[in-house]
Structure 1
């Protein structure tokens, strides 16, 4: 497999970072499914790399919530549970609703919304293309851009810490109507660009909360979303029960 380079990087990207990026994509795409044990030697052979940078990449994935290290099992791809889904939605509401209001306030005070409009255009292009991975990626970038428009470094760091899981969940629930989501993005962009703080916050909340129930339903239909602590499909529970 060819390892990617980061388009956002300003200099050489370390091999461990390239491996991390590639493995993250494979997890999101489902090549390495939930509950899958990451066998070091096999993955090193698949990616054509040595085991040393691979060992450096796994903790990065664990920090982002893509894998867990379970006793006697090593690194295992995280299994989405109902609790994890709700936790992510709760965090997004706290972070992104406030960010939408701050972004609108920043624009009202003279900040440029050009980056947000560009993110919306990119999202439109991939929605028309129909590639589920690219749609999830572009949608996540749009939400990241809203947070970036606040100019708040701590909020941006918080968003970066969960954006991978946001993209993963978007991809897992790609059967939901992406056109509805894109329409929400259009309305949110309009509210932010005209500096309407209250409307931006209301639209952000409605956009996030509307997908909570359907996302849980989709995951349960796919066989994910097990109750936390049950051994079925939960690597942490499996390790504790052995």
Structure 2
């Protein structure tokens, strides 16, 4: 068993429940592939590895399911979710709907004089880790950058909608870590520049192009092939 799955006790820290610690440990193991897609997660095995009782473990399962890491059925143990073509396509479609509008809103605020310091910090963090050979760190930093764009808008509903999506993004970014990180970094810089310019249409167009450019390479990288022409046409039709 890989080291990230080795038995290690969880202890309450700063008042944080064991269920949340178990959530982080299991979700990380799923992303890293220690618990492969389609694997059935047996409670007995997990309680032994995490050295906790079944109560906090069962409490973390709804969180894992909410964020797309597992699927559960009544009276059956949980199963690690599997990336399918539909799941990848749906994630990209939702990101287009949410992040493109967020980029436009961010540009509006930048035009009104809102400082872009948070965006610049997230951008620098993503740049710093991009060439460290740490695919999970790179995935997390890239996700954090996209999350910061949404948070910049100050739209609380938009931020709450983005939060569960970021879990999917980190997992998928990790699975496709072999893609060109230089290109991704370059596009992140272009997006920040577009937002800082205060031009809404430019920012939304750059955001759309950045997200959509990754759709087919992502499908190919996870072994799901290129996207059908009908779906490509639909995506283009909904562009800015």
Deviation per CA, 1:71-114, whole angstroms, max 9, x where unpaired? 56420000111001000000000000000110111111122211
Q: Determine the C-alpha separation between the residues in 2 that align with 1:190 and 1:43.
A: 46
SS, match of residue 59 in structure 2: helix
What RMSD in Å do the two structures reach over aligned CA positions? 2.0
Q: How does 1:101-180 map to 2 (within 5 A)?
A: 101-180=104-183
**8 Å contact from structure 2 (residues 191, 207) kept in 1:** yes
Match of 1:46 among 49, 70, 76: 49
Which one has more relative contact order, counting CA pairs under 8 Å at least 6 apart?
Answer: 1
| TM-score normalised to structure 2 length | 0.86
Match of 1:12 among 12, 15, 38: 15
Deviation per CA, 1:197-229, whole angstroms, max 9, x where unpaired? 11111111111101111111111269xx9xxxx
**8 Å contact from structure 2 (residues 85, 224) kept in 1:** no
The total of aligned residue pairs comes to 219
Q: How does 1:18-97 map to 2 (within 5 A)?
A: 18-70=21-73, 73-97=76-100
Q: How does 1:179-198 map to 2 (within 5 A)?
A: 179-198=182-201
Return 5+ residue gaps in structure 2 as ranges.
1-7, 228-240
**8 Å contact from structure 2 (residues 175, 222) kept in 1:** yes
Return 5+ residue gaps in structure 1 as ranges.
226-242
Distance 1:193 1:4, change over 3 A: farther
Q: Determine the C-alpha separation between the residues in 2 that align with 1:196 and 1:29.
A: 39
SS, match of residue 187 in structure 1: helix
Q: Determine the C-alpha separation between the residues in 1 that align with 2:53 and 2:134.
A: 31
- Runs ≥4 residues deviating over 2 A: 1-6, 70-73
Q: 1:182, CA displacement in angstroms? A: 0.9
